[in-house]
Amino acid sequence: MRNKHRMCILMFSFSVLFPVCVDADDRKIEKAVKKYTTSTIELRHQIHQYPELGNREFKTAELVANHLKSLGIEVQTGVAHTGVIGILKGDKPGPVVAVRADMDALPVTEDTDLPFKSTVRTTYLGNDVGVMHACGHDIHTSVQLGVASVLSSIRKEIHGTVKFIFQPAEEGPPPGEEGGADLMVRENTMENPRPVAVFGLHALASMEAGNIGYTSGPAFAAVDHFIAKVKGKQAHGARPEESIDPVVMASEVVTAFQTIRSRSLNPREPSVVTVGIIRGGQRFNIIPSEVHLEGTVRTYSEEARDGVENRMNQILKGITSAYGGSYELDYDRGTPATINDPKLTAQVVPSLQRAIGRENVMEVPPTMGGEDFSFFANVVPGFYYRLGMVKPGTVSGGHHTPTFRADDSCIPIGMKAMSTLIIDFMKSGGLQ
């Protein structure tokens, strides 16, 4: 039976027909997505071809600001170095919501056959490196620019205000600098006006375009960084009895660190302890005085974080004391865990399902990867989901690899899904 306020139509997406019931706003969003898809894909190609590292996103920020200004959106630049904020005020009263995209690339040399592949090179930590959008931030930024185009074209239907946050340095600022979401929050990005919720998405290299994945509750792990110095006494390699061997001590430390996860933490709680660097010695026949250990810890709770740091100190103290050595431990608590607000998640998932089809929206398990979207979601309730990006029948390299490859076909899906979510949420008056 036909209803004057809602009707069913057939929509075509990625060669798959599926029925979707749409209202007037849905039809306006669909029309706007079709109108702006080509120009948004062109923006994606430009961003991908000319990537920039964290805190150096000068051209990308200029592109973003110019696009927002062309839409009549109020723009603020220079936030947390190169961040851009756009404020879109709807014609109807309602809540303030924020939506965030990250703009920075990685020191990775691209190995794809894309016609718009990056050939950019720069100096990073004193080395000449290639630069590539090897984690999908070009997708994130272009989709959000597309959402800005869509929503600005229907601002008469917007109940409230949308704050577009374009963030630099999600992968971390250069050594010795501050940056990323942490600095944006400290510079009051989430104030004036303060949103009632914040949304974002991340491309997923293991998911086909046309699909969306979400997690209620813990979604991305906290990212901690540790550096340990195991100190001994240097001696000739032929006279080990005159040494206090830090290589032997460090070897035992690395092995013992693996028992933190298996014997000290709750086995039902996800966690990772990884030693990624062991460095010591200058010559094959010299026992060095010190060995450097460096790695990462991934957890989902402050209790687990405390447990890992405490056990590291106990292990380092016990092993080095037994051999007559000593140690130093620098344990840096970095990005906190990203926890999707369960109530907010339950409220907005139906919007994603209506936008692209219920069968294309699926729950996915938490990842031990990190995301500094958490800094925004620690200020107000947040929802951060995964956007499928791989052309069906093909594969992409993993995140942070030279063969990472996102397909353009995910862009209109991302535009439609996020635009629908925002419009629905604002029309409802905010978090219910």
For 155, counting Cβ atoms within 10 Å of its Cβ (0-12 exposed, 13-18 middle, 19+ buried), the class is: middle
pLDDT band at 23 (very low <50, low <70, confident <90, very high): confident
pLDDT tens-digit map of 288-338 = 999 999 999 999 999 999 999 999 999 999 999 999 999 999 999 999 999
- Does residue 397 surpass a pLDDT of 90? yes
**Closest among 148, 187, 193, 196 to 168, alpha carbons compared:** 187
Mean pLDDT of the chain: 95
Supply the pLDDT for residue 181: 98
Quickly list H helices, 154-245.
180-186
Supply the pLDDT for residue 419: 98
pLDDT band at 22 (very low <50, low <70, confident <90, very high): low
Quickly list H helices, 55-136.
58-70
Rg over alpha carbons for the chain, rounded to the nearest Å, is 24
pLDDT tens-digit map of 216-264 = 999 999 999 999 999 999 999 999 999 999 999 999 999 999 999 999 9
Which has the higher per-residue pLDDT, 9 or 269?
269
pLDDT band at 8 (very low <50, low <70, confident <90, very high): very low
Structural domains in the chain, sorted by start? 7-220+337-427 (3.40.630.10), 222-333 (3.30.70.360)
Catalytic amino acids?
A: 104, 170
Supply the pLDDT for residue 375: 98
**Closest among 234, 259, 258 to 247, alpha carbons compared:** 234
pLDDT tens-digit map of 362-390 = 999 999 999 999 999 999 999 999 999 99
